[in-house]
Amino acid sequence: MSMTTTERRVALVTGSGKGVGAGIVKRFCSEGIRCCINCNANRTMAEKTLQEIEAAGGEAFIYQADVSKPEQMQAMVDAIIEKWGRLDILVNNAAMQPMKFVDQYDVDTLQWLWEINIGGYVRAVQTCLPHLRKSPQGRVVNISSIHGKRPTNFDAGYAMTKGAIRMFTRELALELLKDGITVNAIDLGGCKIEFKTGNPEMHFLTPVECTNPRMPLRFLQVEPKDVADLVWFLCSDEAGNINGDGIRLDRGAVLI
C-alpha cells in the first residue's frame, strides 16, 4: 500500500465493538489508520477490542451511540473531529437481523429494522459527508448481505433492507463521483460469528445455519478477517477505480 493510503487517516466503523466490525477496526489500526470504535449496548466487548488494538500499537477510542438516533450520530462524529480533526473513511456495519417469518412481523418491528439497517446507514453518510468531502481519499463501505440478492428462510425483513442498501450504494456512488469519494458494498454470506436471532422460537445460530441446508457449514463460512481484508482493500489506493459495486464475499453460497 502506498503512503497516502495510511498517512494518519481516520475511520469510523459503526457496530465495531465485536464481530465483523471489530475485525475491521483491528485491521485498520494495524495499518496505521486511527479508528472510532462504535458500540451501542455491549461496551464490554468494545473495551476488549480497544485493549487488543492498543496492545498492538494502534490508536482508537470508543464511542457508545445508537446509529438510529440522529443526535447520537452527530455527537459521535463531532467527537471524532474534536479528537483528530478529520474523517476519511466510513464503514457502515451496524445492523440487526430478526429472524422471523413474514406473518410474524408487526409494524413496530419493521419500523425498528428500517431505522437501523437503512436509516442508520443513510444518517451516518449524511453526518460524515461534510468531512469525507474534505478528505483527499474519501471512502464509504457498506456492509450488506447476499440476502439482498436471493431469498432464504425466515429472513424477509432483513433481506428487504439489504436489497435497499445495494441500490443506496449505487445511487450514493453516482452522487459523490464529483467529490472523488468511492462508495462500495460488500455482500456478505455466512460468517463465523454468533448472533441472537430475535425470534423466541429459535436459538443462537450462526448466519450460516440460516442459509441453504444443502451445503455443509464448513464450505460456506468466511472469517471476520476475510471481511476486514476486503474492506481494507476497498479503502486503499489500489481500489480507487472500484466504485458503486457490490462485491460478494460468501464462498459461492449465493450460487446454490
Residue 140 is part of a domain; what is its CATH number? Answer: 3.40.50.720
Are 243 and 142 spatial neighbours (Cβ–Cβ below 8 Å)?
A: no
- Whole domain around residue 33: which residue ranges? 3-250
Residue 158 covered by a domain: yes
Q: How far is CA 13 from CA 29, 194, 209, in A?
A: 12, 19, 26
Greatest Cα-to-Cα distance within the chain, rounded to the nearest angstrom: 53
Residue 105 covered by a domain: yes
Residue 35 covered by a domain: yes
Residue 77 covered by a domain: yes
pLDDT for the residue 182: 98
User: What's the total number of domains in the chain?
Assistant: 1
- Residues of the chain short of pLDDT 70, as ranges, are 1-7, 97-99, 147-155, 190-220, 251-256
Residue 186 covered by a domain: yes
pLDDT for the residue 36: 98
Enzyme catalytic residues: 158
Residue 256 covered by a domain: no
Residue 255 covered by a domain: no
The CB density around residue 241, as the number of other CB atoms within 10 Å, is 6
Residue 19 covered by a domain: yes
pLDDT for the residue 253: 66
| Distance (Å, whole) CA 204 – CA 198 | 9
Distant-in-sequence, close-in-space partners of 51: CB < 8 Å, separation ≥ 6: none
